[in-house]
Structure 1
Amino acid sequence: MRKRLRAVVLVLSCGLAATLAVAQSYPAKPIRLIIPFGAGGITDVAGRLVGQHLGEELKQQVVIDNRAGAGGAIAAQALAQAAPDGYTLLLGTVGTQVVNKMLYSKLAYDPATLTPVSLVSNSPYVLAVNGVDGVRDLQGLVAYAKAHPGALNFGSAGNGSSPHLGIELFKLASGTQIVHVPFKSGAEAVNAALSGQVQIVIDALPVILPHAKAGRLKLLAIADEQRNPAAPQLATTTEQKLPDFKIGSWNALVAPPGTPAAQVEVLNAALARAMARPALVARLAEMGIEPMQTGVPAYLAHAQRETVKWSRVIQAAGTKLD
């Protein structure tokens, strides 16, 4: 019995020593961070900023790899097929981690098998209008939409995109009927609102705010619980009696299936230090981007809440992409 006990202790000790050795030597080369959208968008901007500071904490370069298409499914598939050695990461989104599995009957990757590292950031969405006379706030828009069912339309980055699902959430929360007009990108949807082709658009604060400051779009609300320092005068949806209408472009750091816990711990610790850097916090705040709580437990709890929320919206809207 004693011999068996000694053998078990020896095996556990060797395993722990190996884990510590891996953690101490990792990372020994640059890390690739896959971004599931093209350059210039809010996910890309957040990924590049965080990637730079994360690389400095890890003392290795974080190389950005933009893989756009299929709502992030192409990027997530690339991650799922990568070696589980901690040198390939994905800046996951609500699409890659939660929504795609509800929209596609066949998905080339399984979000449940990806190794979570941590939440990273969130950019709350804002709702803006153009050409809706007399509407000055969110409740005014609800009243107008109810008085003119089907008369208003909204633009999005395409079927199943976050802006599309965001307005479906608004419709569900407010009991209104608004017509969806899909475009190929968020930029096209915003341009359609600017030209008056659609009356409503929602997107991340940095995308909409410049047009609002120029007087070309009218901001009605920020879809969050708290006001944002980048637009402190803008009332929240909670303040305007639509607390269920909350949406933002959130991101999470995700690794391939089977990535060892030692690498995840190193990444988590480095990310926590990076997200606490005053320079990074200040730069994100300038763009209205909020740091999120780091760590695997926080990510898992958030993903569960998002799954419940968006499954209800998608079921009500009947949205499917295949």
Structure 2
Amino acid sequence: MKKISKMAILVWAIVFGLTALVGCTSKTPEPSKANSSGQTAQGEIEWPQKTIQVTVPYNAGGDTDIYARIAAKYLEKELGQTIVIINTAGASGMTAARKIMGDKPDGYNVLFKHTAGLITEATGLADFSYTEDFAIGGTIVEDSTYTVVVRKDSGFKTLQDMIDYAKANPGKLTYSTVHGSVTHYVSVQLEEAAGIDIKELDVGSSNSDRIAAFLGKQVDVLTVNYSTIKDYIESGDFIVMGILSEERVPTLPNIPTFIEQGYDVTAIKTYSYSFPKGTDPAVIEKFDAALAKISQNAEFQKEIESFFGVAKYMNPTETYNSEKEMIQQIKTVMEGAL
């Protein structure tokens, strides 16, 4: 057999080593592939990758719409994508809720709701559950400024004046309500606490419709967020009967609560997000982290407070527990009212 020289062996080893090295280094790794929820093979969430639509179940210009738009501006910075607000009014918020329930659970369609939704669930008006049929995204705002007002030509100067009239004239005091909403919840409490019988009239679901009807003397009493009627109050056109918070609102220190006037009537609205059921938990977790961060942003807090609300963050679990508790409370109050 012919002997191979040491030099030949050395050359062969060098050539083989270089070939192997080139083969390894020249191989291009495949890019990570995300599934339909944006989850990569390595477990890193790649959501969001496109515009997120947040559906508000009321018309533009109201408190829910305002808070949703403020929050969206700050969430865009945290999530790195555009957030578009879609106003879909109807059926005390249920039209929008059903729309989100039917959307693909990919994290790009979200419902921004408040306590009124829970009332439709508690009273059986909704054929679905806001707590069980959605993936809860968390809470971001609380508003304790639901305010009861009358017109300056009503003759009422105080809450007691209004109640005395209602007692002397059962069924004559007219009240603007939206069936199955927070206004309805308030009227049931008021009748029970004051021992009066008021006439509820549904004059429109939007704040603008209800205010127009109130100004047009179609109803005697209006309940709405303070920021919505601030100018009318300051001009003296609307007379405040009281605010429906549990204690005086720091930014409205001169307005007495119903409780301190001897009537246990409250209506505190919390504003939260819900995703379609089945949304990837990693999406919810990332969204929740963004909510937690903006809630601590001083500029965000300042904007919310300019409408007399407060930035109030609760994670999805806290939101779920809070909403379940609220539903039970509403059921107790509204039993037999529908």
TM range (shorter): 0.7 to 0.9
1:117 aligned counterpart, secondary structure: strand
SS in 2 for 1:252: strand
Distance 1:105 1:150, change over 3 A: closer
Is the 1:19–1:262 Cα contact (8 Å) retained in structure 2?
no
Structure-1 residue corresponding to 2:218: 197
Distance 1:208 1:21, change over 3 A: farther
Q: Which amino acid aligns with 1:62?
A: I
Matched, 1:135 2:157: yes
Q: Which has the larger radius of gyration?
A: 2
The 3 A distance-change label for structure 1 pair 102 and 134 is closer
Matched, 1:121 2:132: no
Residues 166 and 29 of structure 1: is their aligned pair in 2 closer, same or farther, counting only changes over 3 Å?
same
Aligned mates of 2:225, 2:308 — CA distance in 1: 8
Deviations 1:73-115 (A, max 9, x none): 111111111122222111022233x2223455663x4422201
Partner Cα distance (2:41, 2:139) in 1:
24
Q: Which amino acid aligns with 1:76?
A: A
Is 1:75 aligned to 2:99, yes or no?
no
Unaligned 5+ segments in structure 1 are 1-17
Question: CA–CA distance in 2 between the matches of 1:236 and 1:250?
Answer: 18
1:100 partner amino acid: T
- How far residue 161 of structure 1 moved from its aligned partner, in angstroms, is 2.8
How far off is 1:202 after superposition? 0.3
Does 2:267 correspond to 1:238? Answer: no
Out of 282, 307, 315, which is 2:302 matched to?
A: 282
Correspondence 1:315 to 2:335: yes
Pairwise CA distance, 1:312: 2.7
- State the distance in 2 between where 1:286 and 1:20 align: 45
What residue identity is the alignment partner of 2:232? H
Compute the displacement of 1:314 (Å).
Answer: 2.8
Equivalent residues of 2:133, 2:277 under 8 A apart: yes
In the TM superposition, what are the counterparts of 1:1-322 in structure 2 within 5 Å?
21-96=42-117, 98-103=118-123, 107=127, 109-111=128-130, 112-123=132-143, 124-130=145-151, 131-136=153-158, 138-156=159-177, 158-185=178-205, 186-242=207-263, 244-318=264-338
Partner of 1:15: none
Please list every run of at least 4 consecutive aligned residues from structure 1 whose deviation after the TM superposition is greater than 6 angstroms.
Answer: none
Question: Contact 1:32 / 1:62 at 8 angstroms: preserved in 2?
Answer: yes
Contact kept? 1:167, 1:202, Cα under 8 Å:
no
Amino acid at match of 1:148: N
Deviation at 1:134, TM superposition (A): 4.4
What CA distance in whole angstroms lies between the structure 2 residues aligned with 1:151 and 1:106? 30
Structure 2 CA distance, aligned partners of 1:72 and 1:22?
A: 36
Cα deviation, residue 285, structure 1: 0.8
The SS at the match of 2:252 is coil
Q: Which stretch of structure 1 is more off in the superposition, 181-190 or 27-36?
A: 181-190
Q: TM-score, normalised by structure 1?
A: 0.84
Equivalent pairs, count = 296
For 1:262, give the aligned amino acid: A
Higher mean alpha-carbon deviation, 22-31 vs 284-293, is at 22-31
For 2:305 and 2:126, how far apart are their aligned partners in 1? 38
Matched-pair contact (CA < 8 Å) for 2:214–2:220:
yes
Identity rate of aligned residues, in percent?
A: 25
Q: Secondary structure at the match of 1:141?
A: helix
Amino acid at match of 1:292: K
- In 2, the alpha carbon distance for the partners of 1:29 and 1:101 equals 32
Per-residue deviation, 1:23: 5.0
